[in-house]
Amino acid sequence: MTVGIQKGNSGNTDWSQQRWELLEQKMRLAAVNAGTEVAAWRVIARQARFVMRSFTSSFFIVTRFLPAAKREQVEVVYAAVRYPDEVVDTLPLTGEGKAQLLDEWAQGYEAALQTASLRESLEQQIPYFVAAFAAVVRDTGIPPDYYRAFLEAMRHDINPRRFATLDDLIDNYIYGSAIVVGYFLAYIYGENRQGDFERAMTASRDLGIALQLTNFLRDVSEDQRRGRLYLPLDMLREEGIGEVDVNDLRQHPALNRVLQRLAAIAQNYYDSASANLDAIAPDCQVAIRACIDVYGQLNNRIARSPRGILHRESVPAREKFRALPVSKYWRLPLAYLTESF
């Protein structure tokens, strides 16, 4: 994942199902009435920006340094992955109800792939973020199976299983939850020079793994509340832990050692992504570098935290700004003028 849209908890920003439904009704009408394909895209991209701003400060800030056209596509990607994530994480539904919403969303995606334009998708009553994402798929050549893999990872969270090893976790969960999202972005960003795309995809894969591992380490306690565990079982057994209980203070020293070990692995992936950053189009490298720096700081804070596993670490705003180019600070106030719902 080449700029940090990782599957994970959304902090304190929980939108109700009613809010999502009202947003769908309002924005569909606005997009349909916009008059042209370009105008409809602008309406949806603007609302996708608001969704991103509402759910993630770090990613929102670093993406301000992407060129406008690519930034809009990234914002649409974010919205297209945010909603399914919210379905499984925060909507107060039964497992069957969540599965039904994901199935309807997936059916909308398949239908949108068969249309020739955004406006045609909207006229067929396809959810507008799905319709816009399908337009990104068409315009950039993203393989359609990548989003199918993402939705399958979301289905996993309805009835989660545990992972025997790190490889098991990467292959059978992180691939769908984060790596393919990074691949979306690699297609949007493009390569630096002809022949660089394979390395750009490698950077995206490595950054996706790093970001997702950092997210898991930050949210062990929250994930336990949701009945999930993303720490490899073999690493836990090596520390004498058979069943994780973050509320058992006796487990904390051993759990912290597992977190430190995984944080070191995540750092290796950040370093690998950084080493291949030059393969990505130059107009996107500033944003990706900022992403690596900000989330690398978060990873380091988790590894060194004196407050234990029950504390959810974050990077202070002043530290985030240090990762950004001073010459471009002027873009940030403008970004917060986005119309809200």
Residue 4 is assigned to a structural domain of this protein? no
pLDDT digits (tens, 9 = 90+) for 100-144: 999 999 999 999 999 999 999 999 999 999 999 999 999 999 999
The model's pTM is 0.89
pLDDT surpasses 70 at 277: yes
Domain-located, residue 11: no
d(CA 180, CA 149): 7
235 pLDDT exceeds 80?
yes
Q: Is 3's pLDDT higher than 70? A: no
Answer yes or no: is 227 within a domain. yes
Q: Give the N- to C-terminal CA distance of the chain in Å, as an integer.
A: 28
Residue 28: the pLDDT is 85
Read off the pLDDT band of 318 (50, 70, 90).
Answer: low
**Torsion sign over Cα 28, 34, 35, 41:** negative
Report the DSSP beta bridge partners of residue 191.
280
Packing angle, helices 95-113 and 68-89, rounded to 10: 150
Give 276 or 311, the one with higher predicted confidence. 276
Chain mean pLDDT for the chain:
89
pLDDT at position 330, please? 43
Confidence (pLDDT) at 135: 97
- Flag whether 312 is in a domain: yes
Using CA atoms, how far apart are residues 77 and 129, in angstroms rounded to an integer?
Answer: 8
If pLDDT is split at 50, 70 and 90, which confidence band does 15 have?
confident
Q: Is residue 6 part of a domain?
A: no
pLDDT for res 317: 67
Residues 276, 206 contacting (CB under 8 angstroms)? yes
Q: Is 341 inside a domain boundary?
A: no
Say if residues 115 and 124 touch (Cβ distance below 8 Å).
yes
Distance CA 156, CA 41 (A): 31
Residue 146 pLDDT greater than 70, yes or no: yes
Q: What is the pLDDT of residue 106?
A: 98
What is the structure's pLDDT at 313?
A: 79
pLDDT of residue 321: 59
Which residue, 327, 340, 324, is CA-closest to 59?
Answer: 324
Q: Which residue type occupies 216?
A: F
Inside any domain, residue 5: no
Alpha-carbon torsion (258, 179, 152, 87), positive or negative? positive
Number of structural domains found in the chain: 1
Q: Report how far residue 194's alpha carbon sits from residue 340's, in angstroms, rounded to the nearest whole number.
A: 40
Lowest mean pLDDT among 5-14, 62-71, 80-89, 256-265: 5-14
- Mean pLDDT confidence for 263-268: 97
Percent helix / strand / coil, the chain, rounded to 5 = 70, 0, 30
The position carrying tokens 């992180």 is 174
* CB neighbourhood size of 133 (10 A): 28
The Cα–Cα gap between 153 and 88 comes to: 10
Exposed/middle/buried for 276, CB within 10 Å: 0-12, 13-18, 19+?
buried
Q: State the CATH number of the domain containing residue 165.
A: 1.10.600.10
Task: Determine, yes or no, domain membership for 68.
Answer: yes
Q: Which domain holds residue 72?
A: 17-335
Q: What is the mean pLDDT of residues 13-20?
A: 82
